[in-house]
Structure 1
Amino acid sequence: MGREHDSNVRAKKEASVSFPFRWIAGVLFTFFIAFLGFMLTFIPGFSYLGQLATAIIIAIIYSQIFGYPEFLRPGITFSSKVLLRVAIILYGLRLNIHTVLGDGLGLLAKDMIVIAFAILFTMYLAKVFKADKTISLLAGVGTGVCGAAAIAAIAPIIKAEDEDTAISVGMIALVGTLFSILYILIKPFLPLTDIQYGIWSGMSLHELAHVALAAEPAGEDALAMALLAKLGRVFLLIPLSFIIIFIVKRTGRFSKGKQQITFPWFLLGFVMMSVLGTFVFGKSIPVSENMMNGIYSISTWLLTAAMVGLGLSVNLQSLRTKALRPFMAMLITSVLLSVLAFIIL
């Protein structure tokens, strides 16, 4: 009995001593897969998927073949939890509040319609299809607002499991990429000016990267309007998050009973960085464009590493059982959202 006790104590001490190494190795492992995803984007075909989606695919495949690397769990968990929130905070720098409120108020009203439709219709179809409600909500938010960043912001509020978050991000990446390519292909046949096409892309596509991919062939003016329309949707993530917090607290939906939810303080960081990027950086504090682009790149790498951490927790068996119906709901919503955005241009 004493020998068994000594063995347990020794095991605990070994785990404690090795923790820093396991933590560092786990974080580096997520960045390594993120780097592999980045390198694959130089290969034709993968470039359309983008670094984030490619890295998630690698992480999921690795997890299915080799299993979850338990030894690296502390660092992987750190990436999927902490780095994810840091990435969302830095993401706020991309949002220029003055541009959205000064030049895009009309677009902002249309963006509200787009977001409300995407979330409510996805949830309606989820009910019809008897789909997983958590994945469906995350997919609806990602479709309506700004893809992976929106999913990452909402997931802690509704206490989504890592696997559900990763599944939702994967679906958004896949559908958004396919839609952006389809938009480019059908552009010559649409009765739209370049500017109208840009606005349509910004109002209906999923990620900022998808919007840029689809709108860039239409010219700089079209791309600028597309990004403005998209930034309006990013801006609306702020009030949307607080609306969902209110609903979860009042109804207990997406949680076990009417339990207290932890306030997502990182959203305040997102707002603060938006304010700094809009009113301080480049004005009171001189910041070069190269430095801002560097910060954008850091946020992209952090978000990719975080999504790798989530992707490593995906089980393909549950993906088949849990994701098919939410995927169908999101796909149908995405098609109808494109039609709606076209109508309200």
Structure 2
Amino acid sequence: MHPIIFAVLVTAAIGAIALNWLSAGTSLLVGIAIALVSPHPWVTQCRSYSAIVLKVAIVLMGFGMEVSAVAATAGTTFWITLLSLLLALILGWALMKLLKVDSQIGLMISSGTAICGGSAIAAVSQVIKPPAEKTVVAVTVIFLLNLVALYIFPVIGHWLELSQFQFGVWAALAIHDTSSVVGAAAQYGDQALNIASTAKLARALWIIPLTVILSLILKPKGMKVTIPLFIVFFVLAASSRSLIEANLVFDWLSDLSRYLLKIALLMMGLGITKQTLAAIDARPFALGVILWIALSISSLFLVYLIT
């Protein structure tokens, strides 16, 4: 399709988001529809810019939270986060052997399920140094499951009559990428969004001990472990809310974060291609699905235990 038509469709979608006509989930769906109907050469850019916009949205979201609430949520979810992480890694290893999935692909899918999707896969790939095609398989499996989670988790949450707190924690534990966590929680309610964002960022920090342990086992050369900067800025934003009297400005920045979240999800959808969907191998996909279902059920059980 002509680039002008693609540009018109994207502009119309952004306008609909600005007018608040599209929810977070619908924004992603519109992006996918545009990408499949109107193939374009900017797939890589859409994916990379989506990640950047999402991180900015998360940082701005911090201006709508009190740092004490952030700390309380992180403390409350520490043990169930650790338990769900260990379960995902151990079960992922067992399923990898059972299904005879390539060990590098299996480790990346298990890590992405256990911690935070694509970010965990990227961190682990720095340690195990897989071929590019293996990383693509792992990322694609996680990405497709994220799309499913974005839509079915709010439905299941309402069906189970989960509270805002329960759903926020469950989404943070059971959904892979931060984008889908905040997207699903945004559809459930503002309190769920705040809880999910905080718990998810606390979960993301487990990338650090995981990569350190892998590096000690594999001893790769030149591997560096870093703390994601957007998490640091999120904490600073939440801290500023408690220290500075500028609530009107902070409320505006918090509202802006929700707009940017929808833009990020739209761009994520624009990064989908027919080739991406056709490249999935059955065994890695089966590993991802079974592991994700097991983590979703077990983490929901843990959420019920603490509430």
Offset at residue 90 of structure 1 (A): 3.9
Find the counterpart in structure 1 of residue 47 from structure 2.
80
Q: Which residue of 2 aligns with 1:277?
A: 237
Structure 2 counterpart of 1:124, from 94, 97, 109: 94
Secondary structure, counterpart of 1:32 in structure 2: helix
The aligned counterpart of 2:254 is 292
Is 1:114 aligned to residue 90 of structure 2?
Answer: no
Per the alignment, do residues 102 and 185 of structure 1 end up closer, same or farther by CA in structure 2, a change over 3 Å counting? closer
Q: For 1:83 and 1:185, how far apart are their aligned partners in 2?
A: 31
Instruction: Pick the structure with greater CA Rg.
Output: 1
SS at match of 1:236: helix
Residues 1:94 and 2:61 are matched in the alignment:
yes
State how 1:26-41 maps to structure 2 within 5 Å.
Answer: 32=10, 35=13
Amino acid at match of 1:249: S
2:210 alignment counterpart = 244
Query: 1:55 matched to which residue of 2?
Result: 31
Verify: 1:336 aligned to 2:298, yes or no.
yes
2:100 & 2:83 partners in 1: Cα distance? 25
Alignment gaps of 5+ in structure 1: 1-24, 188-193, 217-222
Bigger CA drift: 167-176 or 303-312? 303-312
Instruction: Give me the identity figure in percent.
Output: 13
* Equivalent residue letter for 1:153: S
* C-alpha spacing 1:102/1:245, structure 2 compared with 1 (3 Å): same
Deviates more, 1:199-208 or 1:130-139: 130-139
CA distance in structure 2 between the aligned counterparts of 1:54 and 1:135, rounded to whole angstroms:
30
- Aligned-pair CA distance for 1:171: 0.7
Per-residue CA deviation, residues 170-225 of structure 1 (Å, 9 max, x unaligned), is: 212214532331232233xxxxxx7xx333322222323323545x4xxxxxx63x
| Map of 2:130 onto structure 1 | none
Q: Mapping of 1:79-228 within 5 angstroms?
A: 79-95=46-62, 96=65, 97-102=67-72, 105-131=75-101, 140=110, 150-159=116-125, 161-162=135-136, 164-187=138-161, 197-205=163-171, 206=175, 207-214=181-188, 216=189, 224=191, 226-227=192-193
In structure 2, relative to structure 1, the CA distance for the partners of 1:31 and 1:139 (3 Å cut) is farther
Amino acid at match of 1:184: H
8 Å CA contact retained: 1:126, 1:325: yes
Q: 2: CA distance between counterparts of 1:292 and 1:229?
A: 14
Query: For the residues of structure 1 that align with 2:32 and 2:46, how far apart are their CA atoms?
Result: 13
Query: CA separation in 1, counterparts of 2:293 and 2:8?
Result: 29
Indicate the residue corresponding to 1:230 in structure 2: 196
Q: 1:227 to 1:161 in 2, by over 3 A?
A: same
Q: What is the number of equivalent residue pairs in this alignment?
A: 281
Query: TM-score when scaled to structure 2?
Result: 0.69
Deviations 1:293-319 (A, max 9, x none): 113422441354145325566141435
Measure, in 2, the Cα distance between the counterparts of 1:296 and 1:137: 33
Cα pair 1:92 1:274 within 8 Å, conserved: yes
Shift in alpha-carbon separation, 1:302–1:180, aligned structure 2, 3 A: closer
The offset of 1:277, in angstroms, is 1.4
Match of 1:326 among 285, 288, 291: 288
CA contact (8 A) 2:169 2:303 kept: yes
Report what 2:276 is aligned to. Answer: 314
* Distance verdict in 2 for CA 1:132–1:335, change over 3 Å: farther
Inter-CA distance 100–250: structure 2 relative to 1 (3 Å threshold): same
> Are residues 314 and 325 of structure 1, via their aligned partners in 2, closer, same or farther at CA, if it must alter by over 3 Å?
same
Q: Counterpart of 2:124 in 1: which secondary structure?
A: coil
Runs of 5+ consecutive residues of structure 2 not aligned to the other structure: 126-133, 176-180
State the shift of 1:236 in Å. 1.7
Structure 1 residue 241: deviation in Å?
2.0
Query: Tell me, what secondary structure is at the counterpart of 1:157?
Result: helix
CA RMSD of aligned residues (A): 4.2
Cα 1:86/1:290, change in 2 over 3 Å: closer
1:94–1:274 Cα contact (<8 Å) kept: yes
TM-score by length of 1: 0.63
Distance between the aligned counterparts of 1:263 and 1:50, measured in 2?
36
The answer to whether the 8 A contact 1:108-1:232 is kept is no
